[in-house]
């Protein structure tokens, strides 16, 4: 019999896990290796803000499929906390680093699928490196944000970006009893919508006590003596005290591997 096809998939969650399970359905003999740099290979992205807000009460409910389930149900070789560093298209190998010990190794493939996802955009502003300035992308980010919210029953948060993630975080922080200021560079919330459709959403936010700062961006983040963000400075010159900053201004696709490998990107 011919040798089984070796399929390596870079990245898990929606794209990678779906590709892996579909590949198994198409080829029962294939050796399918799923490599994910984070700790969780499949989780409910849309549920992350609602766990922070405690509308979802069980953390386990966020974990759609564990590595053990994927191994048992689909015979996938799931490798979490491992990152693909480079692709050698001539040799048909990828170079991988294990987070646990920093060791690197080569993995051969016959077919390679890239689903590395995207990374949150973080503006290069003064103070943005403070530990209480956060983005929300994965379960680890969720745990960090929830720890801050749990530790301060009535805090002050600044959410930067009035898109979907920003508005979901605003809703859940208000649900937890926090004072929230929403900062958006565009003159309306949900900039993808027509203005007349966004207006009632803005009214609902203000009716719930959210302070809107529209039509002006973030200028800088002030830090206290401990290096924590203590206030945000807006382009207007206004300074707003804060205990937590969540940045949700968009994402950038992780195309580095493809570019370094000389693949054509769109």
Q: Tokens in use for 178? A: 């926090």
Which residue, among 16, 21, 11, 4, has the nearest Cα to 94 in the 3D structure? Answer: 11
As annotated, the active-site residues are: 46
To which residue do tokens 């015979």 refer?
A: 75
Cα 3 from chain centroid? 38
37 Cβ contact list (under 8 Å, min separation 6): 11, 81, 82, 83, 84, 99
């Amino acid at each position: 019999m011919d040798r089984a096809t070796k399929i390596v998939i870079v990245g898990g969650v929606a794209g990678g896990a779906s590709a892996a399970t579909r590949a198994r359905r198409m080829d029962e003999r294939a050796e399918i290796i799923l490599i994910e740099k984070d700790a969780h290979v499949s989780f409910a992205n849309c549920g992350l803000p609602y766990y922070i807000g405690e509308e979802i009460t069980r953390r386990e409910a966020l974990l759609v499929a564990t590595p053990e389930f994927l191994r048992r149900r689909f015979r996938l070789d799931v490798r979490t906390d491992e990152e693909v560093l480079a692709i050698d298209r001539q040799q048909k190998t990828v170079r991988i680093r294990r987070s646990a010990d920093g060791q690197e190794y080569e993995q051969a493939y016959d077919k390679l699928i890239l689903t590395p996802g995207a990374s949150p955009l973080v503006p290069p502003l003064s103070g943005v490196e403070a530990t209480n300035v956060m983005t929300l992308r994965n379960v680890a980010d969720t745990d960090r944000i929830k720890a801050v919210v749990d530790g301060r029953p009535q805090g002050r948060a600044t959410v930067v970006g009035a898109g979907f993630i920003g508005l979901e975080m605003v809703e859940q922080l208000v649900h937890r009893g926090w004072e929230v200021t929403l900062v958006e560079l565009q003159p309306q919330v949900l900039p993808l919508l027509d203005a007349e459709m966004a207006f009632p959403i803005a009214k609902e936010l203000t009716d719930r006590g959210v302070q809107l700062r529209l039509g002006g961006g973030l200028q800088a983040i002030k830090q206290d003596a401990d290096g924590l963000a203590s206030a945000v400075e807006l382009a207007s010159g206004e300074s707003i005290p804060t205990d937590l900053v969540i940045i949700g201004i968009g994402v950038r696709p992780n195309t580095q591997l493809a570019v370094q490998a000389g693949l054509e990107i769109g």
